[in-house]
Amino acid sequence: MPADLILTVAVQGILTGLVYGLMALGLSVIFGVVRVVNFAHGEMMTIASYAAIVAFGAWNIDPLISMIPIAVLLFALGYAMQTVLINPFINRPEHSQFILLAAVAIIMVNGLLIIFGPDARNVLVDYALDSIEVGPLLIDKVRVITAVLALVITAGLFAFFKLSRTGKAIRACADNHLGALVVGLNVKHLYALTFGIGSAIVGAAGAMMTLLIDTTPNIGPVFTLQAFVIVIIGGLGSMPGALLGGVLIGLSEAMSGLFFAPSAKTMFGVAILILVLLFRPQGLLGRKA
Amino acid sequence: MSIKLTRRQFAASAAGAALVAGSAPFNIVKAQTGKLKIGSIHPRSGFQAQLGIACQRGIDLAPKVLQQLGIKADVEIMNADTESNVDVARARAEKLINDGANVLIGAFDSGQSSAIAQVAEQKGVPYIINVAAAPQITEQGYKFVFRNFPTAPMLVGDGLNLMKSVFEKSGITPKTAVFMHVNDTFGQSMAGAIKAMAPRFNLPFQIVETIAYDPQAKDLSVEIAKAKATGAELLMPVTRLNDAILMVREMVKQRWEPKIVMSPGAPGFYEGQFYKTLGKFSNYLLTNVPWYNPRSAMTQKLLDQFTKTYKGELFELNVGFSFEAVMVAVLAHNAAKSTAGAALADAIRKTNLTDHVMAGGPLQFNEKGQNVNIKSVTLQNLDQRPKVVLPLDIAEDNLTLPMPSWQKRT
């Protein structure tokens, strides 16, 4: 098999994996702090994708621009969800939280089906079919742009949690819930803020995703599952872990498609998940409980 | 203990019994000669929704067009959505029959059609398959299942023959080919048929790579990179709609330009959504597929009505075959003068229509319930719509090869 083919496919896999990682990052942030697993994660991403499609269809706004207001919109949605729906469930058993968010996910999918119908929709910007030549490699321009943006957003988020006062307060809540209450932090507000931030990230990922794939209402559950696989591989709650998990999944899908059977791409991602669960259950970059 | 009846009591009882006995068959006859209830079952949501909706349009238009053609169509259409799912298809078929459907028509997809066929056969309700190619459906010895669509071997046989005609007409004969197919029931049937039949057709090219992919794939970049690396001169894709769009998009991105892209008989390239999404990049692709006969008077009648009803939508094979399925059911109902399953099935089996919509010979079913007279045509996407380019006697435009480069298209 030619080396440039292997290299091209590997680069495409890594670039796609970075966007997957960004999508899963929101899930990881929310779990890392609030300790609630968002089973409506992929569905929230689909809402963001449809918002980008509407913005492009109605006002011709490039998803790379509309991702900013969409992230704000998803932040508001996430903040409201945490305040109104999830906070009352914080101390309830995990299965109650699961049912609650699974129900929210079903409502979102069906709502999208009612509004937009089942047809696949996409955004076709001028540069959608452009490629960049790097030596013998031909790399998809959209993938390069979205992967770079994914890295920038992740770096920004990392800086926010490390450097800002609010970020440090959120980390304090995640490290010691009781201690945070004792020192007078408004934990419920910080939880809502975290859920909002996680949702904003998924909003940005959803808008970007319209440049890579066609959107249908039923794609949400697929991405929820994929986000789970990625964060479990990378380590639940770990930001670099989510990115690493995304890259591993992207790369494994690409390489298995190339060397084995393209129709069995998903199988290899799940195989990595099983290996991680067997030999490093906390995930590649996760901390032991 | 003995029961004593007076003569008057006996006469009253006998009259009552006679009335009941007499009215029962009358009720049965009444139930079997009423309006024909057609259960239309298609994927109207899920990943095959657009195609199911196209089929539904043919079904919905049929009663009106048949009346215009002077055919009495006393029908009621009952609709069901398979949600692009085999298990849902089975459950909805049962519900349609329980709700009184006398005939089922559907279901675009081979897997779903197989499930519906099992239910229809078990319940003794005729099932006319409008679109589905898996050969095993009509190889089970079913008595109530009929298919007015070619099987995968028929599609492949016609497709491969037409390929040779295209090479001859264009003067371009590829030496190597890549075969890419969707990995579902239909795709696998087509792959099996091509593998089995290709050696018999003495084709001028060698298939250097076969690539199967998930029907719900979100990205085909790896698949296209792999195909491009072979340097093949011909791409033979067996696609559905969404993956056909993904495939061409990725070919443009990766600047892969085989000399000819020709489907041996699959949906995708000729669908309305394909043209809307890809615009100029949809042109020059070829599909060998059963298609409507543009020279048929009945086709023109149906086309007129379709254009009036669905402005801006594309009239294609799903509409034509679905219309014909309703026509077969209606004519069988008129001939049988009954809605009973066995009577309808007998009448459908005797169908013999020389004047119809789709290209090919008379619409007839063999002992297995298969119409073996359907013929494929070669379609080429020109001016962002499908046009018949072969056979020449029904061609709408000239074959245009080689394809211009992706980058040079306007």
Q: Which of B110, B69, B93 is nearest to B301 (CA)?
A: B69
At residue B7, the pLDDT reads: 54
What is the Cα A256 distance to its own chain's centre?
22
At residue B3, the pLDDT reads: 44
d(CA B176, CA B169): 19
Q: Rounded mean pLDDT of chain B? A: 90
Out of A108-122, B147-161, B228-242, least confident range: A108-122
Percentage, residues of chain B above pLDDT 70: 92
Banded pLDDT at B308 (limits 50, 70, 90): very high
At the top level of CATH, the class of B36-151+295-375 is alpha beta
ipTM score assigned to the predicted complex = 0.82
User: Is residue B8's pLDDT more than 80?
Assistant: no
DSSP state for residue B202 in the 8-state scheme: T
Out of A127-141, B11-25, B65-79, B240-254, least confident range: B11-25
Q: Rounded mean pLDDT of chain A? A: 91
* A13 interaction partners in chain B (CB closer than 8 Å): 222
User: Which tops the pLDDT comparison, B3 or B409?
Assistant: B409
The verdict on B47 touching A (C-beta cutoff 8 Å) is yes
User: Is residue A165's pLDDT more than 90?
Assistant: yes
Which residue among A1, A214, A263 sits closest to B183, beta carbon to beta carbon?
A: A263
The verdict on B100 touching A (C-beta cutoff 8 Å) is no
At residue A4, the pLDDT reads: 86
Angle between helices A187-209 and A63-80 (to 10 degrees): 150
d(CA B410, CA B389): 22
pLDDT digits (tens, 9 = 90+) for B126-155: 999 999 999 999 999 999 999 999 998 898
Whether residue B252 and residue A129 make contact (CB cut-off 8 A), yes or no, is yes
Percentage, residues of chain A above pLDDT 90: 62
Q: Which of A199, A150, A147 is nearest to A22 (CA)?
A: A150
Q: In B271-316, which ranges are continuous DSSP H helix?
A: 272-278, 297-309
* φ, ψ of residue B370 in degrees (nearest 5): -105, 135
At residue B28, the pLDDT reads: 41
User: Is residue A10's pLDDT more than 90?
Assistant: yes
**pTM higher than the cut 0.95:** no
Residue B217's region, left for phi above 0, alpha for psi from -120 to 50, else beta, is: beta
* φ, ψ of residue A112 in degrees (nearest 5): -65, -40
**Checking DSSP bridges between strand B376-382 and strand B286-290, what pairing results, if any?**
antiparallel
At residue A34, the pLDDT reads: 84
Element (H, E) at A123: none
Banded pLDDT at B15 (limits 50, 70, 90): low
At residue B108, the pLDDT reads: 93
Q: What average pLDDT score do residues B275-298 get?
A: 93
Tell me where in chain B the CATH 3.40.50.2300 domain(s) lie: 36-151+295-375, 153-290+377-408
d(CA B24, CA B18): 10
Amino acid (1-letter code) at residue B127: Y
User: Is residue B322's pLDDT more than 50?
Assistant: yes
At residue B6, the pLDDT reads: 55
Tokens of B293: 């006969």
At residue B361, the pLDDT reads: 93
d(CA A57, CA A64): 14
The verdict on A275 touching B (C-beta cutoff 8 Å) is no
- Dihedral, CA of residue B229, residue B235, residue B236 and residue B239, to nearest 10: 80
Interface of A with B in 58-97 (CB under 8 A): none
Tokens of A107: 């409502």
Q: What is the DSSP string of B208-239?
A: EEEEEE-TT-S--HHHHHHHHHTT-SEEEEE-
> If you count DSSP H runs as helices and E runs as strands, how many of each does chain A have, helices first?
11, 2
At residue B250, the pLDDT reads: 94
| Report for A129-138, A242-251, B181-190: range of highest mean pLDDT | A242-251
pLDDT digits (tens, 9 = 90+) for B361-377: 999 999 999 999 999 99
pLDDT digits (tens, 9 = 90+) for B25-62: 444 444 456 899 999 999 998 778 888 999 999 999 99
d(CA B319, CA A266): 35
Whether residue A129 and residue B281 make contact (CB cut-off 8 A), yes or no, is yes
Tokens of B179: 């075969």
User: Is residue A289's pLDDT more than 80?
Assistant: no
* B211 interaction partners in chain A (CB closer than 8 Å): 262
The Cα of A113 is separated from the nearest Cα of chain B by a number of Å equal to 9
Beta bridge pairs of residue B180: B211, B237
Angle between helices B152-170 and B185-197 (to 10 degrees): 60
At residue B206, the pLDDT reads: 93
Burial B114-146 (b: 16+ CB within 10 A, else e): bbbbbbbbebebbbbbbbbbbbebbeeebbbbb
**Checking DSSP bridges between strand B286-290 and strand B260-263, what pairing results, if any?**
parallel
C-alpha torsion sign, points A250, A256, A261, A265: negative
Residue B57 · residue B40 · CB < 8 Å = no
The Cα of B214 is separated from the nearest Cα of chain A by a number of Å equal to 5
d(CA A148, CA A145): 5
Q: Which of B192, B368, B179 is nearest to B258 (CA)?
A: B179
Banded pLDDT at B348 (limits 50, 70, 90): very high
Banded pLDDT at B22 (limits 50, 70, 90): very low
Whether residue A118 and residue B45 make contact (CB cut-off 8 A), yes or no, is yes
Q: Which of B316, B315, B351, B358 is nearest to B330 (CA)?
A: B351
Choose, out of B218, B241, B277, B409, the residue to mutate when testing the contact with A (most A CBs < 10 Å): B218
Fold of B153-290+377-408: Rossmann fold (3.40.50)
Q: How many CB atoms lie within 10 A of CB A132?
A: 12
At residue B33, the pLDDT reads: 60
pLDDT digits (tens, 9 = 90+) for A200-217: 999 999 999 999 988 988
A261, closest residue in chain B (CA to CA): B212
Percentage, residues of chain A above pLDDT 70: 99
Banded pLDDT at B216 (limits 50, 70, 90): confident
